[in-house]
Structure 1
């Protein structure tokens, strides 16, 4: 491990110290390492469509929407090599929330997440991508 020195404005450091305390980091170094990892991961998934990754798409839908449940299942079966696992939760009498873990390239994962969240009847959808180290 290498030691580095950085210079930060007082206001920026104060905000950072509050953030790492709220998040439970033991020290500034841990917070900075995490911030750097996050920045590098974001750059990897935004600049390399062929990078290997896992993604988690979270979406809420009305299960009474005509044929939506079967369309979602068909989407998963049609691209059986990308979805890894799905968790289904009944939120209330009409709404369901699902999280599906996707595994593939950034391009494949984004495409699959878009096919899921763009279905008529899906109310909300978010994708979180984590690049895999080579």
Structure 2
């Protein structure tokens, strides 16, 4: 692998933001952070190209909210062709962790994740994907 070095100029405010990003995320240096951001951007572009990806949708929700679980199941039924498994974990009296393992086109998984994570009562939701083809 060839390694090429080159200088990059950034405005002061961007450089400060980069330094803050490096510190907050525990990168060893700016180069490591920039490499991570570039790789992340490349991966996200591949997802937009609709490659086959595998991933997990992680949802934290308040189980006291009426009908939230049944709404999630109804949505999942419409995407059963991309869902590999679905698990429910009771964290405490109020909160549930719902994990959906998925594989399919990036577009389908993103659509499913958006529908699940925007339900009223969802405290946190995130889709993590990796190219599988």
Do these two structures clear the TM 0.5 threshold for a shared fold by scoring above it? yes
Query: RMSD in angstroms over aligned alpha carbons?
Result: 3.4
What SS does the corresponding residue of 1:93 show, helix, strand or coil? Answer: coil
Instruction: State the alpha-carbon separation in 1 of the partners of residues 19 and 43 from structure 2.
Output: 23
Asked if 2 retains the 8 angstrom alpha-carbon contact of 1:55 and 1:102, the reply is: yes
Per-residue deviation, 1:82 = 2.1
TM-score, normalization by structure 1: 0.68
Instruction: State the alpha-carbon separation in 2 of the partners of residues 88 and 68 from structure 1.
Output: 10
Cα displacement string for residues 57-95 of structure 1 (whole angstroms, at most 9, x for unaligned residues): 23325378459459728936971x522344422133354
Structure 2: runs of 5+ lacking an equivalent: none
Q: Taking structure 1 as reference, are residues 72 and 26 closer, same or farther at Cα in structure 2, changes over 3 Å only?
A: same
Counterpart mapping for 1:1-134 below 5 A: 1-45=3-47, 47-48=48-49, 50-59=50-59, 60=61, 62=63, 65=66, 68-69=69-70, 72=73, 75=76, 79=80, 81-114=81-114, 116-117=116-117, 123-124=121-122, 126-132=125-131
Per-residue deviation, 1:105 = 0.7
Instruction: State the alpha-carbon separation in 2 of the partners of residues 123 and 102 from structure 1.
Output: 22
Per-residue deviation, 1:113 = 3.0
TM-score, normalization by structure 2: 0.69
